[in-house]
Structure 1
Amino acid sequence: MLERRREGRDDMLSPFDFFNREIEDFFRGLPFGGTSRGEMDVYETDDDYVVECELPGLSKEDIKVELNNDLLTISAEKKESEEVKKGNIYRQERYFGRIERSIRVPEYIDKDKIKAKYENGVLKINIPKVETAKGEAKEISIE
């Protein structure tokens, strides 16, 4: 293992610093270069159901959104390779990762008007309700 030195110090890292470095290296090696597992927020507005999914470090070409019957599936795959050559030092790192998340959607949605937009690492999917699902709330009396 290579020795890491602090600025202004000539001794090796303390065991605590080594532990912190190991933790950082572990999370850096996860898919998408971070700790994201495709965390989702799902909420409802008057007109839509909205799904927001964190997918940092991807391009929209890496992401696939599919609706099969009542199952909405978001999948993404990242394949990245970095190669560095410097003097006698050679390093090549590869990042491969795949994530897939699925949620059930109600049957009273307008499947033809679903829209997805990917911006700043967040995929936002608007799932419009059909007109009959937008009805007004009605209080039910209890006998």
Structure 2
Amino acid sequence: MTKKKPELAHGIEVRPSPIDGKGCFATLPFRKGRKIAELTGERVSRVEAARRMRGRRRLHICAIDSYWGVDSSRGGNGTQYVNHSCEPNSFLRVTRGHIIIYALRDISPGEELTLDYGVTYHPDTKRCLCGAATCRGTLNRLEK
């Protein structure tokens, strides 16, 4: 039995990123404030998210609230490859238990989609690779 590749969200493609590993790139123009896509994956508890992060170099878990998160490494639609930037072009909003990515400014086809991760589930501080003029240098550790 072959593993079926998940379908990508409309208007994006995944390819190598100059920021880090793979990136999520716009294939359509997105106007400021427009919905880009929903971040999809397996819904997990914060306890399960903490268990999964042990031993992983890359995390694709995003918090919905103080108890639930989405592990987009399982059932993701390509949005799990949106990289961090200290000068992002998109932002997340949780609406009725769904994590939606919106354009922070007008985004042109070919641009890499980026978010400011802020604090993360990573167990330690990670070096930021965004290259932005206002780069903070690190991604912060999530306080317990």
Give TM class, smaller chain. Answer: under 0.3
- Which structure: greater helix fraction? 1
Q: What is the TM-score when the length of structure 1 is the normalising length?
A: 0.26
| Greater gyration radius | 1
- Which structure: greater strand fraction? 1
Q: What is the TM-score when the length of structure 2 is the normalising length?
A: 0.26
